[in-house]
Amino acid sequence: MTEAAEAGPERHRVFFALWPDEATRSAMSRATRAAVQASGGRPIAKDRLHLTVAFLGELTAAGVAAARSVPPIEIGAFELTLDAIGIWPESRVLWLAPRSLPAPLEALEAQLWERLAAHGLEAEDRGYRPHITLARRARPVEAEVVPVQWRVEELALVESFPDGRSVYYEVLERWPLAGAE
């Protein structure tokens, strides 16, 4: 038996997310640049900005395969208005978020977990707070944001990998939210 096998099966840190296109990422970055700077925090690179829908944690390869089998979820494309910016003092995360949870996003999150449950995967019991992390180790800031409009058309399964003091992400697979015509 190899050392790796003795140490147990390899784990993959994965999550379902909404992954913005280049134009939306740029709009997010422009709209939040001043707040990020004022917060003094460590910014998340523009190409890593995303909104997590369901965090699955550390899965085995079989767990990842189960997660991949869950979509598509055909709730249709929807508009997300990112019009709130703030900080969670306990985690020192500066975030961009929708002021209210849009019904399609709520439905997407609920349907994902309903189907994931059939594979023995369960959400942590701390409620869903959709957000895009903009910076870590941030100080509180008083900031307004020019709302960013995001037309969400896809769901992505993403894996995160350690990258020094940060992490980088690889989109494993994408599914359209709209059903086949």
Active site residue 131: yes
User: Judged by CB, which is closer to ligand 2AM: 1, or 127?
Assistant: 127
Determine the distance from the C-alpha atom of residue 30 to the mean position of all C-alpha atoms in its chain, rounded to a whole number.
19
- Binding-site size for ligand 2AM (CB under 6 A) equals 7
Verify binding: residue 113, ligand 2AM, rule CB under 6 A. Answer: no
Phi, psi of 168 (to 5 degrees): -120, 165
The span from the CA of 179 to the CA of 181, in Å, is 6
Q: What residues contact 170, with CB distance under 8 A and at least 6 apart? A: 158, 159, 161
Active site residue 12: no
Q: Which of 31, 54, 93, 131 is catalytic?
A: 131
User: Judged by CB, which is closer to ligand 2AM: 3, or 124?
Assistant: 124
Verify binding: residue 15, ligand 2AM, rule CB under 6 A. Answer: yes
Cβ-in-10-Å burial (0-12, 13-18, 19+) of 94 comes to buried
- Indicate which residues carry an active-site annotation: 50, 131
- The contact set with ligand 2AM (CB under 6 A) reads 15, 52, 55, 93, 124, 133, 160
